[in-house]
Structure 1
Amino acid sequence: MVKYILILLVGVIKLALGDPIPIVLWHGMGDACCLPFSLGPFKTFLEKEIPGVYVLSLKIGNSIAEDIEHGYFMSPNKQVAYVCRTLTSDPNLKNGFNAIGFSQGGQFLRAVVQRCGHKIPPLKNLITLGGQHQGVYGLPNCGALKHKSCDYLRYLLNYAAYYDWMQNWLVQATYWHDPLNEDLYKKKSAFLADINNELSVNKTYIRNLNKLEHFVMVKFDNDTIVQPGATEWFGFYVPGQAKKIQNLEQSDIFLKGRLGLRKMKMQSKLVFLSTPGNHLQFSEEWFITNIVKPYLLT
């Protein structure tokens, strides 16, 4: 009898409080949805901190091997379309969800919001951890601004990055952003220039992004993977050179209203957080205090 009373009480509490808002995760380059050295433990961590929460860790493809491979060699445009279909067909998300993107998964999830936010269940809070919202112009762990050899390799990538075959073949080329040749980047970027509305303004992208309750961007203060680190807060190099940084508010994307980010800032929807450490390195305590409590429990 006591057992049945407890079950009834749990049911009443759930009805009163409501089930936790589901969470969708999208991993970064070289990672996978569910492996124990990738997002598997993080999914378990969220389920422990938010009892009863449904967590969908996105797997792009039919296997873990395909998921990892597609992080390098499947066009982000195809990946985004795949995820849009996945989110639409998952009944556990029908009442809405929060989303967390790790590294390149951050800008990919933003593309999901912009391109199919009017078709998928409502996305409340988008959280990007080390996302490259204005792309990258540097090589991981290379310190491109300090070593001539890194600059040389960067110039080689510049030479090939905007060929059509490279844009269709290598994921990272689709968000390679050469500040020394902005026109070429805007014309040839198969992914990033589009979602940033840099050639033309897609008003659907603006409307969908502005439906978010919060767009949270987390920057890692000692990041040696992402160059420049300012891209994690939607900043980048001042066009025409590769040393001086401008923040989001100084960019054309912000000033010319290409994504409606000025309006989102005025509505306190843009959130800029930082944490010490290298790329994707943060403590559980920091994440609980800064992400779980304010954005995943509300």
Structure 2
Amino acid sequence: MSVASKRAAARRGRSRSRSRSRRPTRGPLARILPLGAALFVLSLGGGVALAHWHGTAKPVPGAADDTDRLIASPSVTPEASDPPRADRSIPEQGRTPPSPRPPVKVPASGPGTFTTAQASGRAAGSGPPRRYRVQVEDGIDISAKDAAAEIEQILAHPRGWAAHGRGSFRLVSGDDADFVIRIATPATADRLCRAQGLDTGGELNCETADGVVVNLRRWMLGSPTFTGSAAEYRHLIINHEVGHEIGNREHLGCSGPGRLAPVMMQQIKGLDGCRSNAWPYDQDGTYITGPTL
């Protein structure tokens, strides 16, 4: 090899050495950058795919409107329902149920003196005039005025005696009364009725020489054989006893099973198949009668 060839080969060797010495060494950052670029490309592709999926979905009718309303309206948190309470389904231990009303107490006896209702009313009905006075035994929890007002309404009832020409009844407070209606304790009622030869046994009412005696027990409690309240039974008491006053002296019996009992029947002693009834006439104005006893 010539000298010139050796020199040229030496220059090429030095050039390759300088090229190798000038090539930079790849550090950590150089290795991370390609990986980040790859991730960026992948995310870009996923975004394109997601955009493509939203673009092809069919819109739901009204969905935008509903969304607008939800945004515009304040959020409402539903109220939480009350947790079940133990006392709604399981009675509390130791709770005492409400006690029933105490039974009405009727005094067995009284002083035997009476208070007259200081009241007067208009005549009710047609027929012979009948003036009556109302008295209540002293010491009992009944107002003579209230009792007189109740009796006045009973005698003026459309199914009563006055409405069918059997008497024109008028409440008075003086001595000019044709008859007296007295409400008395059982002992006093027995005494007044016994004077007429009648045994009422602490339970019954009676007619006396000057009027009617009403047993306080029947006035306040009614009768166990009567279907109805004590107030309804008071209608029967007055209509039955006043019926005697206007001339119906005899008692009547039941006219047949299921029929209304006559007001002149002693319904306290049993109904014999009839239905309880407190009025002399039915709703059609027909007198309710039965066999004479």
Task: Sort the TM-score into its range (normalised by shorter chain).
Answer: under 0.3
Q: What TM-score comes out, normalization by structure 1 length?
A: 0.21
Larger radius of gyration: 2
Q: What TM-score comes out, normalization by structure 2 length?
A: 0.22
- Structure with bigger helix share is 1
Higher relative contact order by CA 8 Å / sep ≥ 6: 1 or 2? 1
